[in-house]
Amino acid sequence: MSTLLLAAFPPELAGLDAAPPPGWRVAVTGVGALAGAVVTARLIAEHRPSRVLFVGTCGAYDQRLAVGDLISASAVLTVSLDVLEGRAYRPGLEVTRWAPDWDLPFPARVVAVPPAITCTAEGARLLGAVAAAEHLELSGVFAACHAAGVPVAGALAVANRVGPEAHAEWKVNHLRVSRKLIEALAPVLRG
């Protein structure tokens, strides 16, 4: 039985897609929570991994997080600005929060998964009241793993601050911080 290492797209794997660590299967989910859920569910059904690790980049809401910081998800929240601002609501039966099933060697932070990248300072402020960082795939990956009973964890590298300049900052930093994350995960990937 292998362990499954996932990322949204190949650059976040920093070369591990070409040379997976022994005992690991490596794959990409595509971008977004829906793609994350569908692809993760398919991969779990095909490969029956013992556990899943998702790696990627994120944006920081929390001012104490800096570009290059590495975090693990202590909780993953599906959230939207419409819900936070009272223009929409979620049915009480909907699952909107997932916890990791195993620990990683990075500070644990709550990660919000909105339906799209937040582009305003006000949106970042509102979402920052419920989470430290923003990511697009984790809720789908965690939901698929929890539904299948497969332990899951998420490791993220901060590539930008959430807000108007997020995309430009992410473009400058994502390759470097992805490599840093994969290097820091070496003991986990060997173990």
Residue 85 CA to residue 161 CA, distance in Å, equals 21
Average pLDDT over residues 94-119: 94
Reduced to 3 states (helix: H, G, I; strand: E, B; else coil), residue 61 is coil
Per the model's pLDDT, the better-predicted residue between 171 and 95 turns out to be 171
The CATH code belonging to domain 3-190 is: 3.40.50.1580
Q: Are 79 and 131 in contact (CB under 8 A)?
A: yes
Taking the complete model, does pTM exceed 0.85, yes or no? Answer: yes
Could you tell me where the beta strands, DSSP code E, fall in 13-107?
24-28, 51-60, 70-78, 97-98
**Domain definitions of the chain by residue range:** 3-190
Average pLDDT over residues 152-162: 98
Q: What pLDDT is attached to residue 46?
A: 95
Beta-carbon contacts of residue 27 (< 8 Å; ≥ 6 apart): 4, 5, 6, 17, 39, 43
Q: What pLDDT is attached to residue 190?
A: 86
Average pLDDT over residues 117-142: 96
pLDDT single digits (tens) 63-96: 999 999 999 999 999 999 999 998 998 888 888 8
Among the listed residues 42, 34, 32, the one whose alpha carbon sits nearest the alpha carbon of residue 4 = 42
| Beta bridge mates, 133 | 60, 111
Q: What pLDDT is attached to residue 92?
A: 83
Among the listed residues 80, 58, 170, the one whose alpha carbon sits nearest the alpha carbon of residue 130 = 80
Q: Are 135 and 156 in contact (CB under 8 A)?
A: yes
Q: What pLDDT is attached to residue 93?
A: 81
Q: What pLDDT is attached to residue 1?
A: 64
